[in-house]
Structure 1
């Protein structure tokens, strides 16, 4: 079963790589005015801490917003495209080293992928104002999950490595919606972990499920953004390459860091960015 997942992820990586490379080369003379250095640093930082449990999307939104590296409208697409290769690598690592019931794992991965394909088609067509509203509320939700996790409100008492019957159906449906929401900028890790814990599965099992879900959903979702032209090409490529290096360093060299204080700092930054996004959307509405 692991072999099937490896082959599937390898094919998704190849498919995504071909589509991204072709699109980038077709537009290499009209790239956006983003900084290679700043976006590369952002890509490395967020993917490094993503492996260690911080999550990538929320801090990445904040950093892109603060450094003014891309328009608000294309932030969701840019993040999905930029993080696809690093997340594929994460998925391969954690699916290999942590045991999960094959039926539970595969059905949750496929449902997340289907949700992302549908969600990306919707998000890529939203106006800048709707993107700001969506991102603003998405960041609030993400901050809420991180806050609950920091206070240990989200805990897992189960030890199951798989689900059956009604619980499996709930997991499949839940992961479908989480996959769709991820394309709008709501990170999947925290809510997926909460879902896994609530259904009585082992906390350790959450890692291959949530990282594998992202690995399966992001290539098709990102390809949808690429074909719609709803992403910043220069920023996405600049963040992707150092992001892969960061994953390797975090997974095999660093492994763990004292991140409690950093998580609280990230929550504050996320809330500030959410406020900025919602305020911009509000002012744009009033100026019409």
Structure 2
């Protein structure tokens, strides 16, 4: 990526960061008085630390919220987007500067993901609880399968390219649009984006600025729609911000890498269990609604 493109991208990240902070302050009344619990803060630390190393934060955060019942199911998608945005922006600032990606590929995939999230957030924010549970359950099942594949080494190794053109670029744009839609349901973009980039023959390293840049630009706009409709948990959002941003900096600049295979196996099992419980909850709620009717 040339210097001018990189500088423009960093300026764009700064602008969306400001936009997100303004959205939080205006959309969440008395934000300054919100006191998140230690559990919410530690959740941000744990999930965004792993997120920076490439595991993703959405599936792990959803699992924690479901196990502890700290956040209502209907509020989880919006809370994930709003709470992890600033940590994701921090990741994007770091990896955009150290990893080279061809500008058209990077910017095009980011725009596609943003558009997908805008479409998805407008739909998901209006869904009833059981549909959100079912959507998250199915998406988490897919995320678990993908994590199992990563742990088993079945994900394509990719190539050496730092960009794509022609038909491959079209596939990349459409694929990231779909992933942007799925982000609003609660499935993280990182794993699927890494698979998409590798399958197109690009270097897996190039996936980091693509997936982090995509999330950094799409999440503020998706969050704004969820916040406007009151579909977030303020304490969870603030807790993720307080714990997540420092965790990103530690993971990116101090730890940098860890042997993550065992962690992926564990995450895959836990996420699969959470997916099953969400789908079962959706079925119970649907059955209860039918009986009531």
Q: 1:5 is matched with which residue: 9, 25, 34? A: 9
Runs of 4+ in 1 over 3 A off after TM superposition: 25-29
Match in the other structure for 2:19: 15
1:258 shift after superposition: 2.0
What TM-score does the superposition give when structure 1 sets the normalisation length? 0.96
* Partner in structure 2 of residue 58 of structure 1: 59
Q: Cα–Cα, structure 1 residues 147 and 106, in superposed 2: closer, same or farther, change >3 Å?
A: same
SS in 1 for 2:29: helix
Partner of 1:218: 219
How big is the shift at 1:92? 1.1
Tell me how large the CA RMSD over aligned residues is. 1.4
What is the total number of aligned residue pairs between the two structures? 285
- Which consecutive residues of structure 1, in runs of 5 or more, have no partner in the other structure? none
Structure 2 distance, partners of 1:223, 1:56, is 19
| Alignment map for 1:15-54 (pairs within 5 Å) | 15-26=19-30, 36-54=37-55
Q: Is this contact kept in 2: 1:113–1:176, CA < 8 A? A: yes
1:281 aligns with 2:285: no
Instruction: Find the counterpart in structure 1 of residue 240 from structure 2.
Output: 239
Query: Partner of 2:28: helix, strand, or coil?
Result: helix
How far the C-alpha of 1:28 sits from its partner, in A, is 6.8
**Could you give the per-residue CA deviations for residues 167-198 of structure 1, whole angstroms, max 9, x where no partner exists?**
11111111011011111011101111111011
Deviating more after overlay: 109-118 vs 149-158: 149-158
- Counterpart of 1:153 in structure 2 is 154
After superposition, the C-alpha distances for 1:105-151 in whole angstroms (9 at most, x for unaligned) are 00111110111111111111111100110111010010111111111
The CA deviation at 1:26 is 4.6
Residues 136-285 of structure 1 correspond to what in structure 2 (within 5 A)?
Answer: 136-285=137-286
Contact 2:36–2:238 (Cα < 8 Å) also in 1 = no
Runs (5+) with no aligned partner, structure 2: none
- Are 1:89 and 1:244, in contact at CA under 8 Å, matched by a contact in 2? yes
With normalisation by structure 2, the TM-score equals 0.94
1:69 is the counterpart of 2:73? no
Using the alignment, how far apart are the partners of 1:149 and 1:260 within structure 2? 8
Deviations 1:33-60 (A, max 9, x none): x951111110110000111122100010
Is residue 156–residue 201 contact of structure 1 (8 Å, CA) maintained in 2?
no
Q: Using the alignment, how far apart are the partners of 2:16 and 2:10 within structure 1? A: 10
DSSP 3-state at the match of 1:125: coil
CA drift of 1:63 comes to 0.4
